[in-house]
Amino acid sequence: MPSKHLVVLTGAGVSAESGIRTFRDTNGLWEDHRVEDVASPEGFARNPKLVLDFYNQRRAQARTVQPNAGHLALAGFEEAAGWRVSIITQNVDDLHERAGSGHVLHLHGMLNQMRSVKDEQAVFDCPGDIHVGDLAADGGQLRPHIVWFGEMVPAIEEATEIAATADALLVVGTSLQVYPAAGLLHYAPSGCPIYVIDPHQPEVSGRRGVRYVVEPASTGVAKVLAELGQPG
């Protein structure tokens, strides 16, 4: 009998518990910068050095933090309970992978990757810093492989296909305010139980059977997984 499929949509709240700050918790400022200045194509065009330095710092910081109990619980669930687990994350760190999760789709790119400004398909590993003048083989300036505000989300089609096969859907640490990611809930099959794990209890409209777990990921995820893992 095929294993059940758990689909997990994670957002900044999961990484925040590991020490990675989010702009939505600081009145639109991300590490004391306006989001428009460091997370938009226009900001990069105006001041590429500022943007590259900003992500160099974020990349270095991400290397200093560790997966938390929420990441680890998700990584261990597949083996422990026999479910197939797919994680769709809005986060650009690699904490899910470092925790041991094997099926992770990054909607908004990854800090440890970079790409050419001439070709968004030309993606490379980024182990260190990127500087103005660092070029890809095609001659294009290298930039972080991050989906900035105003840019398309190439992975969203694959994400909708994953969500459509869910037997249960967990929404963890996301405000459900950033689209198109927030719309993924509506691709889950009718009758699929949805668990929203977040201390701020973001509102879900247009879906029945939503259960709110008003806790941080580090404790709420384990509670829901324990319930899902029960026989029957």
| Positions marked active-site | 108
The strand ranges marked E within the chain are 5-10, 29-30, 33-34, 84-89, 104-106, 109-116, 119-125, 142-146, 168-172, 194-197, 210-213
User: In sequence order, what DSSP letters do the residues of 97-141 get, joined into one string?
Assistant: HHHT-S-EEETTEEEEEEEETTEEEEEEE--S---TT-B-TTSPB
Q: Residue 4 gets which letter from DSSP?
A: P
C-alpha–C-alpha distance, residues 128 and 112, integer Å: 8
Q: Which long-range contacts (CB under 8 A, 24 or more apart) does 130-136 make?
A: 130/52, 130/55, 130/56, 131/52, 132/48, 132/49, 132/52
C-alpha–C-alpha distance, residues 43 and 40, integer Å: 5
How, if at all, do strands 210-213 and 168-172 pair? unpaired
